[in-house]
Chains A and B, each alone.
Chain A
């Protein structure tokens, strides 16, 4: 309570007393019992609806979605990493067959024979 209240000494100001009388809540217990019944009657008729039910599932659904997202991200990251490793390994792996065969193709026709002769005789 504030000390600014309209008081004369220890007694309430007449204005405050008048206001209190005017704004007094009903005192009858039956009145409050009836009001409670009316309120609860309206409450019992409230159809909370599917969106309210959905609302109850919002938090678990968000958590599940977050977990799923994390799992997907981890899986994607791992797949990408494995792909990169395979690519590097493919680059570094030795080429099958002798190196000369790859570097020097076989000279087969007659012109190739001429070239071979010139090259072998200075």
Chain B
């Protein structure tokens, strides 16, 4: 085990014994990455925040089922992804109209003047939710196809194929913008 992993393992074991300070340390270690995972799946920053909080709550409740020999991050991010996917599903069920609006304009930023960003906003709406998640998790967050597959509950090959389609779609839609840059 690497030295850098030791403190995390110590925190995990302590948290499993009910030490909330140790769990807080785990939150500090992982909340940024957890946010990134959730943000790639949900449509807004607010939803990502909600998913992160829910995800940590689920993780806390399931902590006694976690085997300390496994990588904690991978386990936690899978929970985060599930939490975010649950939130997306709940939104769909609760308010289909609101969802349509949020899919059409997932990243509303009234003050944004940058052309690439606004074109990108529009282009992203041509991707499926899963393709968007895959391209963000891979190209922005650096997760591997296998890790993405594990988080989203899809085969690695499907993650690879989604990434390819997402890139092709974005390249096609943003060709003129990219050539102007």
Contact = CB atoms under 8 A, between A and B. Distances in A.
Interface string B114-130: 00110011000000000
A15 B27 contact: no
B136 interface: yes
A25 B36 contact: yes
A111 interface: no
Interface residues of A, number: 31
B120 A19 contact: yes
Contact of B57 (A14, A16, A46): A46
Nearest to B163: A4
B32 interface: yes
A91 B8 CA distance: 72
B145 interface: yes
A64 B60 CA distance: 28
B140 A20 contact: yes
Interface string A1-23: 11011100000011110111111
Contact of B121 (A2, A5, A6, A22): A22
Looking at chain B's contact residues, the main secondary structure is helix
A55 to B, nearest CB: 7
Nearest to B33: A25
B107 A22 contact: yes
B139 A5 contact: yes
B12 interface: no
Contacts of B174: 14-15
Given A18-B117, A23-B36, A23-B140, A38 B163 contact: no
Interface of A: 1-2, 4-6, 13-16, 18-23, 25-26, 32, 35-36, 38-40, 42-44, 46, 48, 52, 55-56
16 contacts: A2-B145, A4-B167, A15-B170, A16-B140, A22-B107, A22-B121, A25-B36, A25-B39, A32-B32, A35-B35, A36-B31, A38-B53, A39-B31, A39-B53, A42-B56, A44-B20
